[in-house]
Amino acid sequence: MWHTNTNTIAHLLLTILFFMLSQTTATHFNNSSLEGKALVATNWWPQYVNASNHCTWDGILCNEAGSVIEIFLYDHDKLEGNLGSLDFSSFPNLDTLEIDKCGLEGSIPEQIGLLSNLTQLSLWGNRLSGNLPLSLTNLTHLEYLYLSGNSFSGELPVWLTKLTHLEYLDLSEYLYLSMNNFSGELPAALANLTHLEYLSLSSNNFSGELPVWLTKLTHLESLYLENNQLRGPIPPSYGSMLNLTDLYLGTNHLNASIPHEIGNLQNLKWLNLGDNNFDGPIPSSFGNLSQLYYLNLGMNAISGDIPLDIANLINLQNLYLNHNSLVGHVLGNLSRLSYLDVSSNQLSGNLSFQKPCSLQHLDVSMNHITGAFESFRVCQHLQYLDLSSNNFVGRELEEFDFPVLEFLNQSLNQNLAAFSPNLNREHMPRNKLVYLIIFLPIILGFCLLLLTYVCYTNHKATLKNIKTETQKHGNVCSMLNYDGTIAYEDFITATEDFDLKYCIGTGGYGSVYEAKLPNGQIFALKKLHRFEAEQPAFDQSFKNEVQMLINLRHKSIVRLYGFCLHNKCNFLVYEYMEKGSLFCTLSNSELAVEVDWMKRVSIIKDVAQALAYMHHDCSPPIVHRDISTNNILLNSKMEGFIGDFGAARLLDPDSSNRTLIVGTLGYIAPELAYNMIVTEKCDVYSFGVVALETIGGKHPGDLLSSLNHSTSHGIMLENILDKRLPYPTNRSIEKEIMRVCNVAFACILTDPKCRPTMRNVSQEISC
């Protein structure tokens, strides 16, 4: 028996194999060669050491004359070696060369160009590096080229377009060339790939204008160019790309008016032109895009009215027109939409919706729109409603008016106008009109002062009663949006004075207990440890969490029902989450398999939407500072919620926002260690780690540094996925997962300026 290093043996055997294959195309090896049956699954260890016919080896296929026509080696991830040991001139009839996941290192040698009959070349999942050799252009019969999952560098070679028989090119998983550092103008030679159906160059540094030659790709169905440095107008000739279903040009520097020819793309389902510098009107021809499901024109300088023809888009579900210069009316007959954002425009006129209304997200804030608050009650599916900074009137809406509403903002409107007398001033005597004009503001002002005084007096009395009650009983319990009769003693009884058997988790500064009340309602109580409750820092953290959660209203943020300040202990009363933390679920193999791929993607979307709300819909913005799988909670439906706001912080635009390093090790953004300045991008980084951990089933660990360095280049999807779940065979699910992974890679970039905002993240993974 040999006693030696397994990797050394594997390396030696691979070298011997390459040598033996390169020295003969005859039928037999000599007597000193290793015998076949070198199964791919057994690390190249031969079962026999007698003379053998090399054509019987697994992974080797010969023709009738004994000449090798196919080499197929797969999943030797512990092998080491390079392609330089292989004499390519010995394989004149080789048709297929596939050496995948075999740990190959070094570069592809120029001699590979000697394989003149090769039709399929696959080297994916190795550790190959350097530039692609020019000699690949000699492989004029090549139809399939798979090079993904390596570490190739340099510019995207133009000479690839000389491979005129190429049908499938894979340089990055699933034809994605996104999430790299490619720069310069888009190479015009790509126009020679006339059969290309899918092209993704998003999230790179491509510059220059949108090329006209893209229209030569007449079979193209999906074009992703968003998040680059592209400038100039959209060529009108893009209207001839009639097979397009997905067109993403958002987050660039494109300008001028949107050409009306885009309305010719009647197969479009997804159109993203947001976050550019487009001006002029929305083309009325957009009404021809009958298949459109998603339309994003937000964050531009678009002017004019919203075309009436937009109402003809019966399949449209998501419409973003926010942050433009639109005027006129909002079309009331868009009630079939699920998502409508027209905020920060100059829209006016009356807005009302009639049944059926399927809106779930409606944001019309920062406009001049009029109408009655009551008219929105027909939209019973609303989860997000922002009517702020407009001219709405009438009795303000209440949250209980909508069964699933999680966010409501109707501030800065003219609702008092609804209670003003309906005065016919045209027929009023002039002297009475003068008196009314002079004295009415005085009367109203006096009433306002009187109301303020009464409120102040009541508030002062309340504080006095609370102080007295606290001094007497040491007990202040405030219940929010729940039964106010529940008091401190109810929770003491339910947990038997916080007996350990009710403890369901322990956090950084407190423990969480399950409290079941006599009426059957279950709560989660977060109680500060007695010693920690006496420390000023922990006391401040407790108060901080109370203050944050009182003001936060989002469906994916854990709900605070109340809090209790007591001389013995402080605790928070939360909505109970049946499935506990995401960390515990992923750590338990039995529980982890219950969370399938779509549930995991859905949890990631929940977290992204909540963070986007905190960063972009709260004023000032709120940074959580401790996003981790421990602080993502799951309910009985496996929906994700952000919890534990003890470290959360308001971002002050007039402050340096310097901070002590807080958070969970492994999720903290690297810039905090350098400058200790907290920004929203710190949460973005933590979210990226959580997303990868959710997809992978474990903390990405050392993978983070390699991803930061290579921007996901060379990382295979199957190397990221949780092995406890079967690989997704459904193409749409696979695409969803890949979209999440691509976004996660962008979130963990070392430079915070290069990371997307949570609003962009939420939009990208929710579309």
Q: Could you give phi then psi for residue 199, rounded to 5 degrees?
A: -135, 115
Long-range CB contact pairs, 586-592, < 8 A, 24+: 586/629, 586/693, 586/694, 586/697, 586/698, 586/722, 589/724, 592/697, 592/722, 592/724, 592/725
Could you give the count of Cα atoms lying within 13 Å of 265 in the half-sphere of its Cβ? 28
Q: Is the dihedral of CA 254, 258, 261, 267 positive or negative?
A: positive
Look-up of token digits 């956090």: 507
Facing residues of 526 across strands?
512, 572
Rounded Cα–Cα distance for residues 359 and 315 (Å): 14
The three-class DSSP label of residue 184 is: strand
* Cβ–Cβ < 8 Å for 270, 767: yes
Burial 746-755 (b: 16+ CB within 10 A, else e): bbbbbebeeb
Q: Which two tokens stand for residue 725?
A: 């779940």
Q: What is the identity of the amino acid at 91?
A: F
Pairing type for strands 198-200 and 222-224 reads: parallel
* Cβ–Cβ < 8 Å for 375, 396: no
Rounded Cα–Cα distance for residues 233 and 227 (Å): 16
- For residue 697, give the nearest of 711, 670, 668, 718 by alpha carbon: 718
* Distances 121 to 115, 489, 566 between C-alpha atoms, Å: 10, 73, 71
Q: Which two tokens stand for residue 218?
A: 């007449």
Q: What is the identity of the amino acid at 357?
A: C
Q: Per the omega criterion (within 30 degrees of 0), is the bond before 700 cis? A: no
Q: Which two tokens stand for residue 733?
A: 């699910």
Q: Which two tokens stand for residue 394?
A: 């009438």
**CB contact set of 28 (below 8 Å; sequence gap of 6+):** 51, 52, 53, 54
Q: Which two tokens stand for residue 640?
A: 């994700």
**CB contact set of 675 (below 8 Å; sequence gap of 6+):** 658
Q: Say which of 246, 617, 626, 683 is annotated catalytic.
A: 626
- For residue 175, give the nearest of 152, 148, 193 by alpha carbon: 148
* Cβ–Cβ < 8 Å for 84, 110: no
Q: What is the identity of the amino acid at 392?
A: F
* Distances 191 to 187, 199, 248, 746 between C-alpha atoms, Å: 8, 11, 19, 28
Torsion of CA 649, 655, 658, 664, to 10 degrees: 20
- For residue 378, give the nearest of 349, 356, 400 by alpha carbon: 356
- For residue 205, give the nearest of 172, 231, 183 by alpha carbon: 183
Please indicate whether residue 626 is annotated as part of the active site. Answer: yes
Helix/strand/coil (H, E, C) string of 310-369?
A: HHHCCCCCEEECCCCEECCCCCCCCCCCCEEECCCCCCEEECCCCCCCCCCEEECCCCEE
What's the distance, Cα to Cα, between the start and end of the chain in Å?
59
Task: Catalogue the E-assigned strands of 379-537.
Answer: 384-386, 391-393, 407-409, 475-479, 503-506, 510-516, 522-528
Angle of helix 731-747 versus helix 758-766 axis, rounded to 10: 170
Helix ranges, 180-259 (H): none
| Catalytic residue set | 626
